[in-house]
Structures are given as C-alpha cells and as structure tokens.
Amino acid sequence: MAPRPSSGELWGHHLMPAEVEVLFFMPNGMFISMRANRDASLQTIKSNLWKEVKMYPLYKKLMEPQCYVLVGVTQDAEREEFYDETRRLCDLRLFQPMFKLIEPAGNKEEKILNAKLNFLIGVSINEINDSKDLELLNFRRSIMQHCKSVIEERDSKGIEALALYHYPPNINPTLQLPAFLLDVVKRDLGRIIVTVWVDVHLSKSRSKTTIKVHYDSPVMSVISETVRRKVKLEKVLPEDMESVISSRAANSLLKVCGCDEYLLGNYPICQYAYVRQTLSTHSIPELMLVDKKSVYSTLTRHVVNMPSYIQKGLSQMESLKNQQPVSSWSLNKKFKVKVNHMTFVNAKEKGEYFIRAGLYHGSEALCEVRSTQPVESSEPKWKEWLEFDALLCDLPRSARLCLSLCCSISKKQKKKMVYAVFWCNVNLFDFNKQFMQGNMNICMWSLPPSHEELLYPLGTSGSNPSLDCPRIEIEFEKLVKSIPDLVSFLLIGHNSVKAIKSIIRKDILSELTEQEKELLWDLRRIPHSLPKLLQAVKWSCKDDVAITHSMLTSWPPIKVETALELLYWTYSDFEVRNLAIKCLEDRLTDCQLSYFLLQLVHVLEFEQVMDNGLVRFLLSRALTNKRIGQAFYWYLKASMQHSSKHLYYALVMEAYLRCCSNFVDILKQVEAVEKLTKLSEKLKTEKEDLQVKSLQTQLQSSDYIEVLSNFTSPLNCSYKLGELIVSQCDVKASKKRPLLLTWKNPDPMAQGTFQDFQIIFKMGDDLRQDMLTLQVFALMDSIWQQEGLDMRLTPYGCLATGLNAGLIEVVRKSRTVMQILNKDFRCSQLHNWIREKNKILITTTTTADAAAAATSATTITTYNANYTATISTTTSSNRCAYQEAIDTFTRSCAGYCVATFVLGVGDRHPSNIMVTESGQVFHIDFGHFLDHRKKKFGINRERVPFVLTEDFMRVIARGQDNPEKSAEFSNFMELCGKSFLSLRKHSNLIISLFAMMILSGIPELQTTEDLNYLRNTLKVGDIDSMALVYFQDRFNDAYGGSWTTKVDWFFHWVKNNNRV
C-alpha cells in the first residue's frame, strides 16, 4: 500500500473533501462539531459557528465573535493563529480540521506577517526567534538594518527611482549594436521604424503612428515625435505648439504592448532589449504612449517596520566588544584539537573507527593530516589530542578544520579497506574573528556516493541541522584570540609578463606546478594574474598572507569574469572575496547580473560567515530591481531544498521579504504554485483517461479560480496572468504528467501582440539542471551576439519552484520534430512542413509608404487586419517568408549543435527537439548533460556528439538531394566552426559558471570530475587551429552517424506512438 501523502490541503489528502467535519474548542469549555465547505472563508465559518453555539449551554459566557481568533495546528506541526479571516479552509494546510478559539495577545500585525513568512519561506519564524545562536541573532539584526538603509536610499531619490524598481528597464550594457544588427539598421541610414499607439482625443479608441528614428535616438525624442504628431491633429494654436508638446512629452512614458514593461531611463532606443529583440527578428517594435502620472499613482512606498527580534543578542555583542583580545600573531605554538567521542554512529559494518582531521584553506591543505587511534566500537571514544604542524600565528582567518569518521575493515589476504563514513567542517575563527575555543558538539553529514577521499573540504562549514545524525565532540584549547591587523610592505617591482602568459590562460580547474607558483609569486604585480597568483600564495605563512592582503588594497580593477572566478570555493580568503564583490558592485549591470544570479545565489553556500559582502550585494540589487528580486526569491527557495545551509537561506529570504515592495505579488505566486502542486499530486493518483476532465473540473472551483487568476508570472515579472482559460488547460501525455495551463493576457493591447500565456507546471523532475542549461544557452547567445554572430537561440523561461517541481514557458507556434514527422519518417518531411508554414511573400516598405503609415489614424477596431500587413511589408528586402525561415533554421540549428556539444547534452530524440513555424530550432528537457548519456544494458544509446540528421541537412540545403554536398551546408559548417571558436574565447567563464554550481545537489554536477568534459570539448590550452580540427572531426562524426540517430528516432516513435 502506498504511503499516505504528508502534504496537501489536509493531512492524508491531496485535496480536501468538498465538505468536512470541523471541531471547535470554545473559550467557555464547550466542544462543538460542525460541517463546513472546503472553500468557505474563516469569516463565514465563524459566523456559522456563532449561530450553532447559541444552541449550547454557557452561550452567554462568550463575547462577540470578533473578540476571538481561530488557532489550528498546521502540517508542519506549527501552532498558527489565523488572523486573516478571508482565507479559505482548504488553504490553511491543517493537520486536522480542528480549531481552538482564543483571545488574541501580542502584536497582531507581526503575528500575521510571521504566518505569511512561514508560508513563503517554509521554515518556522517562531523557531528562528527562539534561537540563541549569537551569529544568527547578529546577522538578522545587521542584515535588516542593511536592507532598511537600501530601501530608504532608494526612496530618497524620488518617484522616478521607485518606478525603476517596479518597472526595471531591460537595458543592454553597451550602445554598440552587434555587427549583424548594425548591418540591418544601416540599410536605411541607421534609421529604424517604431509603431506607437496613442489614445484618440475625446474617444476610447486608439490610433497608431509609425515613425522613423535613428537607432541611437533617446527615448524622449521618440516620445516627443509621437506627441508632436498627435498634437497636430488637435486644435492647438501654432504659437502654443512647442510648449504643449514639451509639457505632454515630459508627462508621458512608452510602454511595450502586451506586457508591463516600460522604456524608462531615456536610454538610446536601441539599447533596450525589447527593441533589439524585435530588430533581430525583423519585426517592428510595438509601443504605447501612456500618461506618466497614472502609472506613477499606482506605485506604493514600502515602510520597513523593524521586527522586535533585532534587540536580541545586543548585550552579548557589547560584552564581546569590551574584551581586550591579544593578536594571534603572538601565539607561536602549534595548533591542536582534542577529539573526545562520537554518539549515534549506527555503524553498519564491524571494523575499526578513527577520526581523520586536516587543516584547509579552500582546497589547499595547510599541513599534513592527522588521525586518532582506531577503536572497535559503535560508540567510539578517543579523548585524544591531535597536534598539527601549523603554528597558530600562521593560520589564516578563513582556515577550516575538516573532520571525518573513517572505518578500516580487514579483507581477505590481510588487506585493509579504509573509507570515510561521515564528515563535518569547522571554521577555526568565528564570525567575530575570534579563535574557536572550548568544547563543541557537531552533527555530521553523510558523504556523497561519488566521493572517495577521506576528507571533504568541499563541504560547507557548520553542523548538520538534522537531529537524526551522528555527533562528534571536539575540544579546542582555551586561548586569548583575535585576528591580526595587516602590516605594510614595500611595493614589489614590475617584471615582464611574457613568461607567465600561458599560466594566466589556464582555466579555473588547472593545477599549478611548484615552479609555476614560484614564478607567479615573483611576478605578482601582473594585473590579470590574480586568480593564478592566489594559488601560489602560501596560506600557511602569515607573511605571505599579509603581503597578499596589502597588494589587494591597490590592485587594479579586475574583469567581471575574474570576479566570478574568485567566488569559487577554492578562494576562501575574506579579502579576496571582498575584492570580487567590489568589482561586481562597480561593473556588473542589472542586465548582466541576470546571467549570473543563479550561480551567485548558490555560492552563498561557500561563504564562511552569515554576514558577508555577497549577501549584502545581492539583497541591495534585489531591493532596487523587482525583476532581480523576484528571481532572487525563487532561486533561494529552490536552493534551500537541497542545501546544507537551508536555515541560512531562510534568513536571507526573510530579510528580503520583510523589505521588498512586491511582497503581495510573491505571496500570490506561491499560493498559485501551492495549489498546482496539490492538484498535480491528486491527478497522478487517477486513471490517465480521466485526468483532463478532473483537472478542468477542479480548476473551475471557486478557490482555484481565485488563486490562479490575476497574478504576476513567476517566470517574468513583466507578464500579468489574467483569467485562467480552463477549456485550454490539459494534462500532457508524458511520464511526469505535466499540466499545460493557459491564461488570458489582460493587457489592453493584447489583441495585437499575444492574447494568452501558456505555462507548463511539472512535478517529478529536478528542473534546476534545466535552469542551468538554459541560463548558459542565454549566455552563449549573448557571447555570439557580441562576436557579431546571429545564432537565434530560444532560451525559454524555466523556474524550479521547489523540490522536483517547477514552471516552464511554452514557446508559441512550435511543435516537436516527432509531431511534425507524424508517422512520415521521410527526410523531406521537416522541410516540407517549414515550406508549408512560410508561403507569404515579404516585400519592402518604401519611405513614402512609411510616411503614409505614420500619418494614418487606424482605430483599435481595425488593429488585427493591419498588424500582420505591417509586419509582412517591413520585415525584409524582397525576401519571402520561406527564405527567412530557412535562414532562421540554419542559424538556430548551428547554434544548438555547438551549444549541446559543448555542454554534452544527452538523451536527444524527436520529442525534445522543437521547431517553430518561423523555422527556429530549439531543444527542451535537459535531464542529461556533461556527457552523462543514457545507457541501455550498460551501452551508450547515443553514438554521436550532437544531433544532425539528414532531416535537418535537407532543410539547410533547401530540399536538395545529397545536402552534404551543397553550398548551403558548407556555409552551415563554417558557421558552426565560427561559433565554436567564439565560445572558446570565454572558456574560463563557462567552466566557472558550472564550477560554482558544485554542491548544488544537481545529480550530474557533483564533483570537479564532472567538469572535465567541458575542458575537453572546449580544448582548453590548445590553439584555435587544433581546437577547430577537433571540432570538425566531431562534426563529421555527427552527420556521418546521422543514420544511427534516425534509427533511434524510429524506435522512439514506435515506443511513444500512442502519445503523439
């Protein structure tokens, strides 16, 4: 029998029954049972209860209903007071339908907020409030003060800054257009066409004006020109014309049609990502002129009320500050630690157990490891001092003590097998820069299955929060302790850099020889050598460390890529990490931050103290940019499910949520995801042929309609999801039974853009691997654009929302290759489908036509008819849609061939490769990467490095027979080679992004060994000509073995034909 579900609307039920028996413990001592509807509000339930209670004794002992609050026990075993009586019974997540009525006490507002925070974070705020950990108390106080100061500084800049928070413009870092876009705009002397919709004076309709502006014109000039054309149609005196135009333009904004995105900031028009995206797809930007005051009137300022807990721990911190510590540099004795005993070991094998201990700085061992004497016991006791060959005065502040419980088992032929069972790591200095001292009990962790070493320095510091795990007791010497101040050193002379250029070019995982380290240290003033130089520092020598810190204070500015590399776990020194954060603060724009936010959230795992520069940087950006803030919240929420520091992530989420201005938006998103989670679990218990009907029936219930309507999309804060279109919601016919959901687009200009939003909710897969893959695809596309290559990737939205659950954006007008082939596996079928979908002739719009369009005043009622015509007549010069589609297919196919090859994406079949009607290829479902291929009976099912079947080659060659001999295919091969070499220039960045995700819990990214595939495919260390030969060989393997791929596709169709 299947275990009862532990989550849902009620314990033991995914969905609460339509009517349920509710028990009430009344203040007058009476016990009352009453039936209530699952979607009834607490207000309704309380009203009905008071009608019922009149029939019971001692009724007159009760006060009015509003004098009491309902109290229940949730499924998290938390006692919660339900002050918000608009909440429905089915949304309370009760353990059992029981309530107690009490008179409220304490701060009502803070209790309501804490209840919402419990729901949003998934950790009890009351339990955190009960903590007496001094670092935790200090962090909660200081980070709240930091967040409050960020909010106050933002709001002090006026309403414009508040608007930039709520509607952050998506700005490209540079004005310079990519070469392929520059070629497009130069065809018309650098001018681009922009359509702006305006409200017709004294009418509810809208008209459009089409204008030509130079691509680097500021937004205000576009607004002014639009207002000028509108004013000319009104009865304005000539002498008043300019003042009227100036006044109206100053009070107007440009909004992107179809979504809540505004072109704020008065940047050049082509610097906005939306405008560039439309130019790259040969379409026209569709904007709307709106009144600035009406937009700004909806903005609300967030008042941060400091919670009561900020007063806790102040007296302890003051007493620590009053101590007079002695410099650790005066302690010329060796470090030692006493290992006392372990409890709750629960040994599975009989053998000898001992403790292995080592001192580490990042990944570098500071001295030889030490071990206790082995003992034969499941409750081992040692009481043994371990002395290390490292002086206390030489230990850097970021040094850690790494411990593991090891087992030694005697095997046949008198051989012994030794392996580690549990591990833990301890910082030698606490958050207040003080040496650890005295006794310490630490809960240990189980080692990852793939880890073979006896110590685990990669692991996080601190105790396992789980109580059901082994514990070790250790004892530090009682010392007077402190961190020394830095001393000044003479500047070191500058030498030639030729000798170390090859060392600097090495990637993040390359190990340096001792000779290379000595050379780097001798030439330590070379600016770009910093990551490699830090590997050459003797961190066990206080003099070298002091010299390094002194150099960092005057180090030239470093690149963003270098700063990201310095946040990898091997660089644990506090000053080094602070230098990296300073670079990100100064040089990383919000648009660029979106490419790296996933990694930056995760490397919080590597920080040794709670209050650090990285968390302050991330919170500052999240509180000044709503788009970053929303992603920041969801990344934290997904990461904490797999993190050993989930309590720390909860504290960061708490600080953000208490101070963010879009708290209500996030609350509605989480409520929607919670509803979908329960519904998805329920549907999986039903027969497949009944699931769609059950889905649509449940979605029509009042509680689902209320929660799943009119909220901001978690995938994109610029998209507002309107009413749910239940008739278009479906259960997809794949293994995990994902839900396809469709919402109306409530934007007033939805008719001319996109009238609905489609999102897939999927349960059962860890979507963080998909998120990482798509994020790197987006970065690759950005790199290619910088290099002047238009590869037209489609990195669609994907968001992990919890443990094995998440949301996936549906790409419009697209089908899987399997659906396109549809039993017809001829190589020409895909080409025929694209040709059938692209029959429209595209002609050129003349200047006269554009001028005529600019002066027309077509109302909103004729919008749809003219919208398609406008696009089809201004897209390209005398090219048909078919030619454009083939070009798009060729470029996107080349992009994905290279991208999937570099990342080692596996399990490619016709159901996870898709094509849009405009010819754009894209891949979905990234369950395997870094060359973790699917196997059958231990044999690799995939025998080619990437997918390039004859179906694809036929499209590239425009339907020709023998496509591999065509000129088009030769051009395709050249494009693949160029794009591969472009990525090689950024090998360090790509490898660093994956390296930063180690410890994230992603199954196929567990150790540095998993990253060797990237180093191999990018040919790190080779010259371009050798790397290109390697790629061409792999390319030949791909199309030479395309027949094997096609055979695999056929059998995939045979297996899944009932689902197509």
Q: What is the pLDDT of residues 87-112, one digit of tens each?
A: 999 989 899 999 999 998 888 888 88
- Contact between 348 and 178 under an 8 Å Cβ cutoff? The reply is no
179-186 and 273-280 helices, crossing angle to 10°: 70
* Domain membership flag for residue 612: yes
* Domain membership flag for residue 873: no
Number of domains in the chain: 5
Are both 282 and 336 inside the same structural domain? no
Give kind and range of the element (H or E) at residue 310.
Answer: none
CATH code of 52's domain: 3.10.20.90
* Domain membership flag for residue 807: no
* Domain membership flag for residue 1047: yes
Other residues' Cβ atoms within 10 Å of the Cβ of residue 866: 14
Tell me the DSSP string of 46-103. Answer: HHHHHHHHTTSTTGGG---GGG-EEEEEBTTS-EEEE--TTSBGGGS-BSSSEEEEE-
Mean pLDDT of 535-543: 88
How far, in Å, CA of 974 to CA of 960, rounded? 19
Quick one: pLDDT band at residue 942, thresholds 50, 70, 90? low
pLDDT at 515: 73
In 3D space, the residue among 259, 295, 314, 285 whose CA is nearest the CA of residue 137 turns out to be 314
SS3 457: coil
Are both 27 and 45 inside the same structural domain? yes
- Contact between 660 and 302 under an 8 Å Cβ cutoff? The reply is yes
In 3D space, the residue among 172, 260, 244 whose CA is nearest the CA of residue 252 turns out to be 244
Give kind and range of the element (H or E) at residue 336.
Answer: strand 334-343
How far, in Å, CA of 924 to CA of 760, rounded? 12
- Contact between 405 and 421 under an 8 Å Cβ cutoff? The reply is yes
Are both 265 and 192 inside the same structural domain? yes
Both tokens of 456, joined, read: 């685990």
pLDDT at 6: 42
* Domain membership flag for residue 805: no
Both tokens of 729, joined, read: 């919601």
pLDDT, greater one: 873 or 627: 627
Q: Which tens digits make up the pLDDT trace of 778-807?
A: 999 999 999 999 999 999 999 999 888 999
Residue that terminates a domain, selected from 47, 71, 105: 105
Q: Is the pLDDT of residue 1056 over 60?
A: no
Pairing of strands 98-102, 69-73: antiparallel
Burial class (CB in 10 A: 0-12, 13-18, 19+), 298: exposed
pLDDT, greater one: 278 or 859: 278
How far, in Å, CA of 201 to CA of 230, rounded? 9
- Put simply, whether the predicted model's pTM sits higher than 0.85 gets the answer yes
Are both 453 and 403 inside the same structural domain? yes
- Contact between 532 and 523 under an 8 Å Cβ cutoff? The reply is no
Are both 277 and 347 inside the same structural domain? no
Segment among 39-53, 203-217, 612-626, 775-789 with least mean pLDDT: 203-217
The single residue listed with the structure tokens 């790190």 is: 1020
Mean pLDDT of 124-146: 90
Are both 893 and 1026 inside the same structural domain? yes
pLDDT at 184: 86
HEC-encoded secondary structure of 669-737: HHHHHHHHHHHHHHHCCCCHHHHHHHHHHHHCCHHHHHHCCCEEECCEEEEEECCECHHHCEECCCCCC
pLDDT, greater one: 777 or 111: 777
Q: Is 266 left (phi over 0), alpha (psi -120 to 50) or beta?
A: left
Are both 141 and 287 inside the same structural domain? yes
pLDDT at 1025: 92
**Proportion of the chain above pLDDT 70, given as a percent:** 86
Q: Is the pLDDT of residue 868 over 70?
A: no
Spell out where 117-226 has E strands.
191-199, 206-214
Are both 581 and 448 inside the same structural domain? no
Quick one: pLDDT band at residue 366, thresholds 50, 70, 90? very high
pLDDT at 943: 55
CATH code of 399's domain: 2.60.40.150
pLDDT at 474: 96
How far, in Å, CA of 49 to CA of 56, rounded? 11
pLDDT, greater one: 146 or 1006: 146
Are both 964 and 1024 inside the same structural domain? yes
pLDDT at 239: 84
Mean pLDDT of 698-716: 95
Instruction: Report the chain's C-alpha Rg in angstroms.
Output: 32
Residue that terminates a domain, selected from 105, 126, 142: 105
CATH code of 555's domain: 1.25.40.70
Residue 469: domain span? 328-476
The single residue listed with the structure tokens 């469709």 is: 742
Phi, psi values for residue 481, rounded to 5°: -140, 155
The single residue listed with the structure tokens 């900020």 is: 310
Q: Which tens digits make up the pLDDT trace of 183-232?
A: 888 888 899 999 999 976 555 678 889 999 999 999 999 999 999 988 88
pLDDT, greater one: 516 or 726: 726
How far, in Å, CA of 162 to CA of 158, rounded? 7
Are both 905 and 1015 inside the same structural domain? yes
pLDDT at 550: 86
Mean pLDDT of 912-918: 94
How far, in Å, CA of 547 to CA of 553, rounded? 10
Other residues' Cβ atoms within 10 Å of the Cβ of residue 938: 5
How far, in Å, CA of 87 to CA of 12, rounded? 21
CATH code of 991's domain: 1.10.1070.11
HEC-encoded secondary structure of 436-478: CCEEEEEECEECCCCCCCCCCCCCCCECCCCCCCCEEEEEECC
pLDDT at 89: 93
Q: Is the pLDDT of residue 2 over 90?
A: no
pLDDT at 484: 47
Q: Is the dihedral of CA 972, 978, 980, 986 positive or negative?
A: negative
How far, in Å, CA of 663 to CA of 668, rounded? 9
* Domain membership flag for residue 461: yes
Are both 127 and 236 inside the same structural domain? yes
How far, in Å, CA of 514 to CA of 537, rounded? 11
The contacts of residue 695 (CB under 8 Å, 6+ apart) are: 679, 683, 729, 730, 731, 739
* Domain membership flag for residue 6: no
Both tokens of 655, joined, read: 């600080």
Residue that terminates a domain, selected from 443, 476, 509: 476
Both tokens of 1031, joined, read: 């790629």
Count Cα atoms within 13 angstroms, Cβ side, for 226: 30
* Domain membership flag for residue 621: yes
pLDDT at 503: 67
Are both 369 and 515 inside the same structural domain? no
pLDDT at 99: 96
